[in-house]
Amino acid sequence: MGIYDRDYIRERPTPTGPAGTGGGVPGAGGGHPVTWALIIGMGMLFLFYAVIPPEGKRGMLAHFSLSHAGIFEHLYLHTLLTAGLLHAHFGHLLVNLLLLFFLGKTLEEEPVVGSRNLVWLFVLGVLGGSALFLAIPVEARALGASGGVLALAIVAALALPHRTVSLFGLVNMPMTFFVVLVVVLTLLPIGMATQGAGIAHFAHLGGLATGFVYYIFDLRLFAADGRFRLLRKRTGGQRGASTSTSAPPSGADPEAKARMEKLLQKISEDGIESLTDEERDFLNRASRKYR
């Protein structure tokens, strides 16, 4: 029997349709509530900022922008997060919301992230961007969701490298190419901050680094079944009994066998839905080879 002939491997349907077209796993993120909540929330906050008088803008900037003086002199610690919600210029807002639209919908459909972890990843990206911005002595204010959005981008590239991104049905490209293009365009102006636009490019780099750490060390808060991961680890999943005794084929080479054992343990703890596309492809190839 091959690995993919086992019941717990066949439980999850394969996602259909390219990213951005609405295809995905039924029930995994239908409606994309987190993505739309972030888009609508940041859009409304920008409109409010745009129409209030100058004195109101100054007050908002004090509490929705990140600066060294705000943190170290006035102790506005909340700006570590709130700076990722406000944009001072429409162009900056539009770019971030478009990226959030394509990346957020895709990740929200994938159990490897999902709606709950999408919020967590976005927050971590914003905080990571804020931390790196504060570590660099630049005279500027940081505004915008770029840190959080770029954390989503790097996780999408690592977890779903072969997924197709459809830009409004006009241009299709692999997720990896799409994210590399975004990252290159983002890091070109690194080393300077545009005070007028409120864009701190070091915060972009901090968001990318945070997303990379999130993926490498699997910092998800919630398992694929929606339960808090620490509780899931303690109590075990519903599939734990059926997968804990499963073992890789004896004829597998040591490196492949070690990875197969790691992935089977991951399925035992978090369910088959927690596997990335690449991990599922690996098990599929191993199943055909060692069946």
Interhelix angle 146-159/201-216, rounded to 10 degrees, is: 40
In a domain, 222, yes or no: no
Partners of residue 166 on adjacent β-strands? 172
Regarding whether 63 and 185 lie in a shared domain, the answer is yes
> Which residues span the domain enclosing 148?
33-216
Answer yes or no: do 40 and 103 share one domain.
Answer: yes
**Same-domain status, 276 and 187:** no
Q: Locate 220 and state its tokens.
A: 């998800």
Residues 184 and 126 in one domain: yes
Q: Which of 253-259's residues contact partners 24+ apart within 8 Å by CB, and which partners?
A: 256/286
Q: Is 151 within 8 Å of 121 (Cβ atoms)?
A: yes
- Judge if 161 and 50 occupy the same domain: yes
**Is 202 contained in some domain?**
yes
Residues 187 and 63 in one domain: yes
End-of-domain residue from the set 160, 190, 216: 216
Measure the CA–CA gap between 176 and 87, rounded to whole angstroms.
27
Which tokens is 278 given?
A: 């690449």
Residues 39 and 178 in one domain: yes
Average pLDDT (108-129) is 91
pLDDT digits (tens, 9 = 90+) for 216-230: 998 999 887 677 876
Distance CA 134, CA 200 (A): 10
CA distance 42 to 96: 10
Q: Which helix (H) or strand (E) is 140 found in, with range?
A: none
pLDDT for residue 59 is more than 90: yes
Of residues 163 and 15, which shows the higher confidence score? 163
Predicted confidence at residue 199, as pLDDT, reads 52
Six-digit token string for 15: 């996602």
Q: Which residue has the higher pLDDT, 13 or 130?
A: 130
In whole angstroms, give the CA distance from residue 178 to residue 152.
13
State the pLDDT at residue 261. Answer: 80
Whether 224 is in a domain gets the answer no
> Residue 148 is part of a domain; what is its CATH number?
1.20.1540.10
State which H helix or E strand residue 174 sits in: strand 171-174
Only one residue has tokens 């994210």, namely: 179
Assigned domain for 211 exists: yes
Structural domain includes residue 227: no
In a domain, 20, yes or no: no
> Contacts by 260-266 with C-beta closer than 8 Å and gap 24+?
260/3, 260/286
Domain final residue pick, 156, 189, 216: 216
Indicate whether 63 and 185 sit together in one domain. yes
Residues 145 and 241 in one domain: no
Distances (CA, A) of 289 to 22, 52, 193: 34, 65, 52
Is 27 a domain residue?
no
Count: domains in the chain: 2
In a domain, 17, yes or no: no
pTM for the whole thing?
0.71
| Mean pLDDT rounded to a whole number for the chain | 78
Q: Which amino acid is at 263?
A: L
Q: Are residues 51 and 195 in the same domain?
A: yes
Task: Please tell me whether residues 170 and 261 are part of one structural domain.
Answer: no
pLDDT exceeds cutoff 80 at 21: no
Reduce the DSSP state of residue 224 to 3 states and report it. coil
pLDDT of residue 194: 44
pLDDT the model gives residue 167? 81
If one compares 252 and 113, the residue with the highest pLDDT of the two is: 113
- Residue 195 — φ and ψ, nearest 5°? -65, -40
What percentage of the chain exceeds 70 in pLDDT?
Answer: 73
Q: Is 139 exposed, middle or buried (0-12, 13-18, 19+ CB in 10 A)?
A: exposed
Are 88 and 166 in a shared domain?
A: yes
Q: Which pLDDT value is given to residue 190?
A: 52
Q: What is the mean pLDDT of residues 137-163?
A: 90
Domain boundary (189, 216, 243) is at: 216
